[in-house]
C-alpha cells in the first residue's frame, strides 16, 4: 500500500442538528474525547428553536464552530451547506444523535496513511434504543473498550462488492460518521439522490462514492453508536419513500449484486496492525 501524509487537521467533522440539544451534547462530547486532537468541528444548525446554540458555545474551548441556517430548509439543504463550507481534505458528516468511539478517528487517520486512493471510510455500528432521559455519552449497556480492533474490510474501487457488503450484517455500515474525500463530497448531487431514493438515499450515496476510489469499512461495531429514539425521521411514516423510489433502490442493489457475482475485486478482511 502507498503511504500518504495526513494529519488530524485533514479530517473535518460537520455535525448536522435540529432541536436535539441534549443529544448534540453527547455527540460533541464523543468528538472532543477522541484520542487524536486538533480536528476541525462545525455544527450545522438547521434553525433550531431550543438551546442548541448554548450547547455549542459550551464547547468553545474546543474551538467548535457554530453555523446557523436562517430557516429550516430540511435535512438536504443543511447537508448542502456542509458541502459549501467543507474545506479539509476529508470530511465526516455526523448526525447529532450518534456517538463515536473515542479511538475511531485515530483508526481513520491510520487508514488514510496506509491505504491509497481512499474515497470513503465507513464503519460498522451498534444500534441502541434511547429514552429522553438517557443522555450519557455511551449507552448504559456498554463501556467502550480502550482499543478498537484494527480490522478493516477493503473494497478496491469495487462498488458492486461494497453494495453486497451493505446487505451483509458483518460488514454493514451507515452514512453517519462516514469519512469522505472532500472533492468527492462536494460533487455529490444530494437533490438528485433525494428525488430518486427519498430517505433511503444513504446507501445509494455510499455506493456512488465507492465507485470513485477505494472504500474501507472499520470492522469493529463499537466504532459508532446509532441512537434510535422517538421522533427520529427513519421511524416516521409520513416521510416514507414512494413506490418508484423503493423500486429504484431495489433495482440498484439487484444490479450491483449481479455485478459482484461476476467481477469482484473485494480484497477481504485486513486484520493486520497498520501504523
Q: How do residues 188-237 score in pLDDT, each as one tens digit?
A: 999 999 999 999 999 999 999 999 999 999 999 999 999 887 776 665 55
pLDDT over 70, % of the chain: 84
**Grid cell in block for residue 37:** 486532537
Residue 147 domain-assigned?
yes
Which is higher by pLDDT, 142 or 68?
Answer: 68
Tell me what pLDDT residue 132 has.
Answer: 60
Residue 274 domain-assigned?
no
| Residue 125 CB coordination number (10 Å) | 22
Domain containing residue 259: 9-269
Mean pLDDT of all residues in the chain? 88
CATH number at residue 61: 3.90.550.10
Contacts of 113 (CB under 8 A, 6+ apart): 3, 4, 5, 6
Cα-atom radius of gyration of the chain, to the nearest Å?
A: 18
Residue 31 domain-assigned?
yes
Which is higher by pLDDT, 135 or 12?
Answer: 12
Q: Is 149 exposed, middle or buried (0-12, 13-18, 19+ CB in 10 A)?
A: middle
Strand order from edge to edge, sheet including 125-129: 99-100, 224-228, 125-129
Q: Among 15-24, 56-65, 166-175, which stretch is predicted with the lowest mean pLDDT?
A: 166-175
Report the run of H or E that residue 195 belongs to, with start and end.
helix 190-197
Tell me what pLDDT residue 171 has.
Answer: 78
Provide DSSP, 136-158: SSS-TT----SS----EEEESS-
Tell me what pLDDT residue 167 has.
Answer: 86
Residue 3 domain-assigned?
no
Residue 243 domain-assigned?
yes
Report the run of H or E that residue 247 belongs to, with start and end.
helix 243-262
Residue 275 domain-assigned?
no
Strand order from edge to edge, sheet including 266-270: 65-68, 41-45, 11-17, 90-95, 179-181, 118-123, 214-218, 152-155, 266-270
Q: Is 64 exposed, middle or buried (0-12, 13-18, 19+ CB in 10 A)?
A: buried
pLDDT tens digit string along 236-250?
Answer: 556 678 999 999 999
Q: How many domains does the chain fold into?
A: 1
Pairing of strands 11-17, 90-95: parallel
Residue 166 domain-assigned?
yes
pTM as predicted:
0.90
**Grid cell in block for residue 84:** 459549501
pLDDT tens digit string along 124-140?
Answer: 998 888 766 665 666 66
Residue 80 domain-assigned?
yes
Q: In 3D, which of 63, 61, 53 has the Cα closest to residue 25?
A: 53
Amino acid at each position: 500500500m502507498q503511504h500518504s501524509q495526513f494529519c488530524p487537521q485533514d479530517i473535518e467533522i460537520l455535525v448536522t442538528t435540529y432541536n436535539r440539544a441534549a443529544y448534540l451534547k453527547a455527540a460533541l462530547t464523543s468528538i472532543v474525547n477522541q484520542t487524536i486532537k486538533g480536528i476541525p468541528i462545525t455544527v450545522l444548525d438547521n434553525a433550531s428553536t431550543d438551546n442548541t446554540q448554548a450547547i455549542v458555545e459550551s464547547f468553545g474551548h474546543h474551538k467548535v464552530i457554530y453555523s446557523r441556517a436562517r430557516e429550516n430548509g430540511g435535512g438536504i439543504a443543511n447537508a448542502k451547506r456542509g458541502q459549501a463550507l467543507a474545506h479539509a481534505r476529508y470530511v465526516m458528516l455526523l448526525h447529532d444523535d450518534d456517538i463515536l468511539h473515542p479511538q475511531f478517528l485515530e483508526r481513520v487517520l491510520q487508514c488514510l496513511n496506509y491505504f491509497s486512493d481512499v474515497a470513503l471510510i465507513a464503519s460498522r455500528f451498534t444500534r441502541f434504543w434511547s429514552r429522553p432521559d438517557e443522555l450519557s455519552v455511551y449507552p448504559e449497556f456498554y463501556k467502550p473498550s480502550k482499543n478498537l480492533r484494527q480490522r478493516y474490510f477493503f473494497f478496491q474501487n469495487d462498488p458492486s462488492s461494497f453494495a453486497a457488503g451493505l446487505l451483509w450484517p458483518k460488514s454493514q455500515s451507515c452514512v453517519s460518521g462516514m469519512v469522505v474525500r472532500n472533492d468527492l463530497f462536494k460533487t455529490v448531487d444530494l437533490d438528485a439522490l433525494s428525488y430518486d431514493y427519498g430517505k433511503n438515499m444513504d446507501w445509494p450515496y455510499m455506493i456512488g462514492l465507492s465507485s470513485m476510489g477505494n472504500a474501507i469499512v472499520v470492522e469493529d461495531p463499537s466504532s459508532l453508536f446509532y441512537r434510535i429514539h422517538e421522533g427520529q425521521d427513519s421511524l416516521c411514516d409520513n416521510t416514507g419513500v414512494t413506490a418508484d423510489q423503493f423500486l429504484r433502490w431495489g433495482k440498484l442493489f439487484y444490479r450491483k449484486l449481479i455485478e459482484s457475482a461476476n467481477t469482484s475485486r473485494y480484497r477481504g478482511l485486513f486484520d493486520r496492525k497498520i501504523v
